[in-house]
Structure 1
Amino acid sequence: MFLKVFYNIINLTSRRTLAMEVSTNKTIKEGPAVISLVAEKVFYNPVQEFNRDLSILVLNVFSKDYKAEKNAQAQKKAQNKSIDSTIEFAEKNEVEFTLLEALSATGLRSIRYAKEVADITKIVANDISMQAVQTMKVNFEQNQVSHMVEVSHDDACMLMYKHKHPSERFSAIDLDPYGCPSIFLDAAVQSVQDGGLLLVTATDMAVLAGNSPETCYSKYGAISLKTKCCHEMALRILLQCIEKHANRYSRYIVPLLSISADFYIRIFVKIYTGAIHCKKTTSKLAMVYQCVGCDNMTLQPLGGFKSNPTEKNPNQMKGFLPTGPVVGEHCVNCNQKHHLGGPIWTAPIHEPVFVSRVLAELSSERHCLGTRDRIEGVLSMVREELHDVPLYYSMDRLVGRVHLETMPMLLMRSAILNAGYKVSYSHASKMSIKTTAPAQFIWDIVRTWERTHPVKPARLEADPVARHILSRAVASPVELSCRADANPESRRCGALRFQYNPAPHWGPGARAILNIGEEKMSKALRNQNKNLKKKSQKRQHSEGENEVRKKITLEQQLTNDNGCN
């Protein structure tokens, strides 16, 4: 009887909790879109509003370029036939811009694309979850975009494979999965039109940032390294992964914009077809030697191209294999050994002209974006980056490795500029130093700074690597005098370059759950003081058991009394 009463209490509590969860119905407003989360297990993450806002701007700029490019190609073909066909094409034909959101969840992104991207003709919103599909249908009707958005209930890869024929390909495909996107890339690179756009998000930053290099290799085909420039390396690992998938089908990528933000990376690349361009891929990839002592990064290209003129083609180029390795057994700076990572993408990860046009689109009055200031700050930094310099140094790592007092960033940048080298920040880190200066000169600056800010002898005695670095002579003259151009424009104008945590307990969220509101806490919040919670639950259970025992004892006493009477 005791167990029966106890289980009844537990089951009643569980049913009340379940009823409360099922009745949960959240309404969310983002930009001009208003959505309702009518299903229990549909994913939504408010922190990625920056991702969605940026994607809207990029698509507005890209769609104009795409239509202009397709019109130019069609008119050129028509001109080769006759002038009349050119006029007929201009009057009767219009280039369609179709977009696939392969993993739609609530449909919020598709709604915003339909309302805020001017040149979109049709959107296909797909999800494998029936709950998500039902939620999307309600939201599309509510936002009056059903005439533009087609709902699809299918596996994302299978849907893209069905559209790999050139006549059925999408103008743009948006992949925003939970975690790693690599399982969708093979289908995606085949399903994008020639000159189309592929938008890819990856949230498994622990894998890409070096915490699990063997997992990174199995997912992305590259070894990640644990280094201060891991966020840019994550971008370059994903780019090489997309290029690898594209090359299998005689296609190649042209990066337009690559962003590291919050807990994810976001990449925008154009896909083209051309077997001859695929041969140039090896010149865009490199292995990375990372010194285990000073963290210096040295690139070993997988291939290269050199001039090979002939009478018929004076501009002909010929591929070659570079010699290696580019480093010795020990690092020249600290006499330590190296780790080997990669391959990574070493060609530019942004197109400066395109970035400038996205910034111009941001100033348009028709866009009402919640993260406008942040987008302006990040894109301003991206435009200032040295686009032909892969990876970067980190100021805290440089001075911290030799136990020095922190050097002012503007002083370091001034010393590099005074020596005739280029320098910039990276949008991925506020302590970044992206420069054309060799590693030896960077350490010369650190050694020069140490002369006026000496390290405590006890620290050097306990650290042979720091002692070896600082004991070397300064090979190049270093001028530590500040200059005005060391302060970039984005910093002078006070742009929001680096965002603080956008929300408490923010992060990628849990897979396929409703991730808003206090009653739907994130994993980080749920795990806080979990041991104390367990103890409290045990205490409540024991108190509940005691109450049940008291009731049972009371009932038995009443029964005995009635029997006696």
Structure 2
Amino acid sequence: MEEEGDKKEFITASVGERCEVCPGLRVLEGLAASGLRSVRFALEIPGLKSITANDYSAKAAALIARNAQHNNVSHILQASQRDASMVMYEARGRKERYDVIDLDPYGSPSPFLDAAVQAVSEGGLLCITCTDMAVMAGNSGETCYSKYGSVSIKSKYCHEMALRIILHSLDQRAAVYQRYIEPLLSVSVDFYIRVFVRVKTGQVVVKNSASKQALLYNCVGCGAFHLQRMGKKMSQGKHMKYSAATGPPVGPSCEHCGQRHQLGGPIWAEPIHDITFVQKVLSAVSGNPTRFRTSKRIEGVLSMVTEELQDIPLYYVLDHLSSTVHCNTPSMLQFRSALLHAGYRVSLSHACKNAVKTDAPAEVLWDIIRGWVIDHHKLLKGLQACFEIREDANPQSRKQHLTRFQENPQANWGPKARAKAGGGISSELEDKRKQFQGKRKKPITDSSQLKSFPCKKFRKGTCTYGDKCCYSHELEQETEEKMA
């Protein structure tokens, strides 16, 4: 590093060279498997001091060492065979911390998050991948709470909620050590989610943590949702006053359909992207489109991220809004135009193809849907919707025909069965997975199979088919005999 007055010029090593003059970046891939990602780090990123590719498996560690030697990066990349948590816990000292920590486990990263937020340097980067989407998308809310400290619920916005759940968990664990997170990029793609966050230290900023989290009230009928912040802050001169939030923001039943509410969260309620950072990445990818084979897809996803409303958590799905009232679905341009004519902001979401992210309250959305149902005539109540197409309703990423949503490259695309201890995938587990795929969608073609199901009409005494009924009457009769 050379200093000339107030200017500082950092001398960085070129790709594949170890950086000795400048501080250099220390990178840890905690669950490296074959070490492919670490090898790419060494071959493609300049200014690296060292890369530690760790895996608990002895076979994986040996494979990492061979891959490093084969790609001539052994001087930068070191293979390690240890428990990932212990590697990070031993690097909690300020001089031992890593500048970048990448965690891409099979399933949930929750066992490693506590160590990760301590082992990353001041302003360092955490790259976290979650593949346990069944848990984070609402299938097992109790399991999600035990792992991430947040209850997931089944909803149309489950993919963005999953992003906000992992960000909540990271911020909560970092706050224990007077640290906080700054999300740079959070994406939901294919069958997993991945977040990139910067970790910093500051007791004053940590006090804002409660006001950054929110509980979620979701209507099980129409899907309307409301957020309730966990805390609130008010400025009093040079100081901030922190207090508990007041609530709830909804009544016992939904004001639109009368159904009950589900309670989920808490979730991260602040922006999940740093747009300045995303735009720099987008410019780098667009400026060198031949660098990555998936450049078009990267450009499409990042373009959509920059178009999202950053201060609006979650979204509605247009198909779900129309199916709730059993009407034809208006085009996305028409619905977006109606919201813009009404004076509200609206955007898409990279996490869902038909998402509507808007600052309009739910009652405005239902007013617009009612206006669509009665064929654009004046509404009996509420807002009069205008469906005339507006130019700004069509986002730039759509006009440019960017690859925004990836189609599955092959049949049965998605996470495979868990790998067996010796490596590879157990054929027995693979066969079992295929056997139960679509089990609820397979129709019964043989009517005789229906005899195993009891006749509901017979139970009510209204079945008129007698012995010709394709459903079983005997099971009901046996039950009555036992009760007698």
TM-score range, shorter chain: 0.7 to 0.9
Which position in structure 2 is the counterpart of 1:343? 266
- Which residue does the alignment assign to 1:528? 434
Alignment of 1:83-482 (within 5 A): 94-309=22-237, 313=238, 316-365=239-288, 368-452=291-375, 473-482=380-389
Q: Secondary structure at the match of 2:208?
A: helix
Structure 1 window deviating more from structure 2 (231-240 vs 333-342): it is 333-342
How far apart are 1:290 and its partner, in Å? 0.5
Q: d(CA) in 1 for partners of 2:160 and 2:186?
A: 9
**Kept in 1: contact 2:304–2:350 (CA 8 A):** yes
Tell me the SS of whatever aligns to 2:139. coil
Q: Deviation per CA, 1:392-429: give whole Å up to 9, x if none.
A: 00011100111111111110000000111100001000
Could you list the structure 1 runs, at least 4 aligned residues long, displaced by more than 4 angstroms after superposition: 86-93, 513-517, 519-526
Q: Distance in 2 between matches of 1:498 and 1:411?
A: 21
Q: TM-score, normalised by structure 1?
A: 0.72
1:512 to partner: Cα distance: 3.6
Aligned residue in 2 for 1:42: none
CA contact (8 A) 1:121 1:148 kept: yes
Cα deviation per residue 1:219-268 (whole Å; 9 max; x = unaligned)? 11000010000000000000000001100100000000000000000000
**1:338–1:88 distance in 2 versus 1, CA, 3 Å:** closer
Question: Residue 513 of structure 1: CA displacement?
Answer: 5.4
Instruction: Output the amino acid matched with 2:158.
Output: C
Offset from partner CA, 1:263-300 (integer Å, 9 cap, x none) = 00000000000111111011110000001111111001
Kept in 1: contact 2:42–2:48 (CA 8 A): yes
Is contact 1:126–1:153 with CA below 8 Å preserved after alignment? yes
Structure 1 residues 524, 492: closer, same or farther in 2, change over 3 A?
farther
Partners of 2:164 and 2:267 within 8 A in 1: yes
How far apart, CA to CA, are the structure 1 residues paired with 2:423 and 2:401? 32
Distance between the aligned counterparts of 1:103 and 1:90, measured in 2? 31
Whether 1:490 aligns to 2:397 is: yes
State the Cα distance separating 1:368 from its structure 2 match: 2.3
SS at match of 1:177: coil
**How far apart are the structure 1 equivalents of 2:51 and 2:73?**
10
The alignment yields a C-alpha RMSD, in angstroms, of 2.8
* Shift of residue 145, structure 1, vs aligned partner: 0.9
Structure of higher RCO (CA pairs closer than 8 Å, 6+ residues apart): 1
Contact 1:333–1:440 (Cα < 8 Å) also in 2: yes
- What is the total number of aligned residue pairs between the two structures? 429
**Cα-to-partner distance string for 1:522-547 (whole Å, 9 max, x where unaligned):** 9566643589xxxxxxxxxxxxxxxx
> Which letter does structure 1 place at the counterpart of 2:362?
A
**Hey, which of these two has a bigger chunk of helix by percent?**
1
The 3 A distance-change label for structure 1 pair 395 and 87 is: closer
Partner of 2:454: none
Q: Give percent identity, aligned residues only.
A: 49
Please tell me whether the aligned partners of residues 319 and 354 of structure 2 are also in contact (alpha carbons under 8 angstroms).
yes
- CA distance in 1: counterparts of 2:329 and 2:169, whole angstroms: 37
Normalising to structure 2: TM-score of the pair?
A: 0.83
Q: Which has the larger radius of gyration?
A: 1
Contact map agreement 1:448 1:474 (CA 8 A) in 2: no
Deviation at 1:321, TM superposition (A): 1.9
Aligned-residue offset at 1:90: 9.3
